[in-house]
Amino acid sequence: MPPAPFARQAGRARQAPFSSLATWGRARRLLHEFTFEQSDPDRFYSALARDTAQMVAALHPVDLAGQTVLDVGGGPGFFADAFTRRGAAYLSVEPDAGEMHAAGLDHRTAIRAQGQHLPIRTASVDVAYSSNVAEHTAQPWEMADELVRVTRPGGTVIVSYTLWWGPFGGHEMGLSHYLGGHRAARRYTRLHGRLPKNLYGLSLFPITAQAGLDWAASTSEAQLLQAFPRYLPSWAWPVVRIPGVREVAATNLVLVLRKH
């Protein structure tokens, strides 16, 4: 029997499982879009928002139309457009006022707040997710606990984050983060004449796949359903099962949980 919140919506059409959408073509397309993160952020974030909405829709047990979706770290508003087009009631929480207004988009459904202290009622949203946010906070698992708290029983919690030891762990600092976070920041500053946007120890923190899996196993209010590399084709997903190797090869880990 489906959980009570979904029973009345059982007849809604479902998307194909996300594993069937995670193709090599999608991986190549996203990798190409990543090259525009600094030069054309509007293009990059629009593409990422569309992909995120598709992923969330495929991982949630019912159609997103009419569902309440909370996005912690929603940024400048591109994700709002992607979810609204799917008929979801979208709400974002963003701590950085500069990020909220970076693209000049409408923010009628945005709240400025910290992910670790969400001003949201307990058990009030159908989907709570964060995309590429956990690596930018010093308390990522406190934020993850808050995502679980605000989700309704039977709802979906999704935490997706960039792994520090993966090739994208340094973000705009490139592979130099393997030399150390502070050293990578100094090198970036010398090369570009400015500090990196993601400054190690302030807005970028080392985070591992093992830490996320440990958190998911320890939370008593939700069950881990899936853990997979976000940007890799589905045939490469088994890499998550290999300790050590997954820290580098998975690049970005997605944790999918169902609220008890």
In SS3 terms, the chain reads as: CCCHHHHCCCCCCCCCCHHHHCCHHHHHHHHHHHCCCCCCHHHHHHHHHHHHHHHHHHHCCCCCCCCEEEEECCCCCHHHHHHHCCCCEEEEECCCHHHHCCCCCCCCCEECCCCCCCCCCCCCEEEEEEECCHHHCCCHHHHHHHHHHHEEEEEEEEEEEECCCCCCCCHHHHHHHHHCHHHHHHHHHHHHCCCCCCCECCCECCCCHHHHHHHHHHCCCEEEEEEEECCCCHHHHHHHHCCCHHHHHCCEEEEEEEEC
pLDDT at 109: 76
**Per-residue confidence in pLDDT tens, the chain, 260 aa:** 333 333 334 335 455 689 999 999 999 999 888 888 778 878 888 899 999 999 999 999 999 999 999 999 876 678 888 999 999 999 999 876 555 544 444 556 778 888 999 999 999 999 999 999 999 999 999 999 999 999 999 999 999 999 999 999 999 999 999 999 999 999 999 999 999 989 999 999 999 999 999 999 999 999 999 999 999 999 999 999 999 999 999 999 999 999 99
Here the tokens at position 259 are: 């609220």
Question: Is residue 51 a contact partner of residue 30, using CB atoms and an 8 Å limit?
Answer: yes
pLDDT at 5: 37
**Gyration radius of the chain's alpha carbons:** 18
- 138 within some domain: yes
Question: Is residue 68 a contact partner of residue 125, using CB atoms and an 8 Å limit?
Answer: yes
pLDDT at 38: 74
pLDDT at 1: 31
What whole-number distance in Å separates Cα of residue 114 and Cα of residue 195? Answer: 24
Taken in order 166, 168, 174, 180, the sign of the CA dihedral is negative
- 185 within some domain: no
Here the tokens at position 236 are: 């490469």
What whole-number distance in Å separates Cα of residue 165 and Cα of residue 76? Answer: 27
What whole-number distance in Å separates Cα of residue 94 and Cα of residue 120? Answer: 13
- 216 within some domain: yes
pLDDT at 157: 98
- Tell me how many domains the chain contains: 1
What whole-number distance in Å separates Cα of residue 186 and Cα of residue 184? Answer: 5
- 169 within some domain: no
The residues with which 72 forms a beta bridge, in sequence order, are: 93
What CATH number should be reported for the domain holding residue 51?
Answer: 3.40.50.150
- Which residue is associated with the tokens 């799917």? 86
What whole-number distance in Å separates Cα of residue 81 and Cα of residue 145? Answer: 26
- 83 within some domain: yes
Domain housing 61: 17-163+207-259
What whole-number distance in Å separates Cα of residue 122 and Cα of residue 59? Answer: 22
- 172 within some domain: no
- 177 within some domain: no
- 153 within some domain: yes
